Amino acid sequence: MSRTVSNITIVCYDFTNNRVRRKVEKALCDYGVRVQYSLFACRLNAEQLMQLRAKLTELLEVFRDKLITTDSVVMLDRLPYETIDTVFGHKWPGKEKYEIY
The CATH number covering residue 24 comes to 3.30.70.240
| Residues 24/32, Cβ–Cβ less than 8 Å | no
In a domain, 37, yes or no: yes
pLDDT of 11 reads 94
- Hey, which residues does 40 pair with through a beta bridge? 11, 34
In a domain, 71, yes or no: yes
In a domain, 36, yes or no: yes
What tens digit of pLDDT does each residue of 9-51 get? 899 999 999 999 999 999 999 999 888 899 998 888 889 999 9
pLDDT of 3 reads 52
Model-level pTM?
0.74
In a domain, 95, yes or no: no
Map residue 31 onto helix, strand or coil.
coil
In a domain, 49, yes or no: yes
Total domain count for the chain? 1
| Residues 42/9, Cβ–Cβ less than 8 Å | yes
pLDDT of 78 reads 77
Structural domain harbouring 77 = 7-87
In a domain, 32, yes or no: yes
Instruction: Provide the pLDDT confidence category of residue 73 given band limits of 50, 70 and 90.
Output: very high
Integer Cα distance of 13 and 37 in angstroms: 9
